[in-house]
Structure 1
Amino acid sequence: MNQNETQWDKLLKIKTTGRDDSHSDQYRYPYEPTSYMVLERLANSGLIRKNNTLLDYGTGKGRVCFYLSYQTRCRAIGIEYDEAIYQKAIANKETAVAGNRSSFILCGAENYEVPVDVDRCYFFNPFSVEIFHTVLAKLYESYYEKPRELLLFFYYPSEDYISSLMTQEQLMFYDEIDTSDLFSGDDNRERIMIFKVI
């Protein structure tokens, strides 16, 4: 395991390493935390700040929430459907350095009503495109209730997600953060695609 991964977990006083696919299926994908190097690049983009509220879909043990709220001072909400993994996020919240800025909700993403203060959303291929379409509909509802700058971040997007994103009339491609230099090999999925709700 990368030393950077364990060092950040230690600094933030959380335990988020390791993969868990005990409850994954064709619709909900395994828990696998985003690398801290990738999150660092996102934090340094300036696109998430103190006045933002970030929603992390498929939050798992809460790494994205804890790290970004610590680095950018944003508020973070993590959605997780798997109760066993959700409990690990709750346990992390008890010890986490920036735990007071993160909250977690046990809920299927497709059933979650998006609060109108959420203006940043993070996805690391958490679920199938079928669920994703329902999630997008919920995001659009929230946006129409209160129009605001609403940015969606897609790390390591699958072909299915990209195809789906490109057909959404309510989404506009906003920017991309290249993360391919952080890992060996030539992987064109190694990036964060950013879309804006319009």
Structure 2
Amino acid sequence: MADVVSQIDVQLRQEMVEAQKEVARWTTEQKQVADTEARSGQRMLDEDKENLLRAHEELSAIHGADETLSQRAKEDSQRIEELRRELQRLTAIQATLPPEEQQLSRQLEQQRLLLQERERAFQQNNLQNEQKLSELQKGGSMYKKWLGLEFERVEDERLRIVFTHVDPQAPTRAFTFYVYVDSSDRYHVVKCEPEVHDVQSLVDALNTSNDFSAFVRNMRKRFQQLV
């Protein structure tokens, strides 16, 4: 009887040892799987961060191009208006002079031709600008939707910049600041919600580098640090 009990005891011990080995093997495998998934997840997170940064840079470039095209169209329009006023002035002078004033007539004709040429060029450029602006606005709308970055013109020629998707716990929470450019082409931030303690140093760096895209990225980083 004692021999039987002893054999059973030995067998049970062997089965327990085998079971412990199996548990240890399974635990090691699961840890390796978890480590692999963690590394993969970190790589994906790093890639997402890099893609987000690149997309923000592209959006800033889109905004800059939009501003440049609008300014160029405005300048062309002003120049054409100046030529039109000059033509009206010369026409009025011509009406007060006798027909033999050939020099004034030639000058008037030159102004007419120049105005016509400028108007044709303006219409062509304006059409091209409208097409480019339409494409830029479509691209900007896409970035606004996916990245939560929006530019809005408000009163006094100020630009309101709004970030969302900054706070993971509240993706729709808005982080905003207002910026404008003075007559000396220097940037100023007049309002920031929530407040960023070193915003002035960022503005000083912007006025030195004139890199508005980098300034926008740095403001987003500051907002992320406040979360």
TM-score (norm 2): 0.25
TM-score (norm 1): 0.27
More strand by share: 1
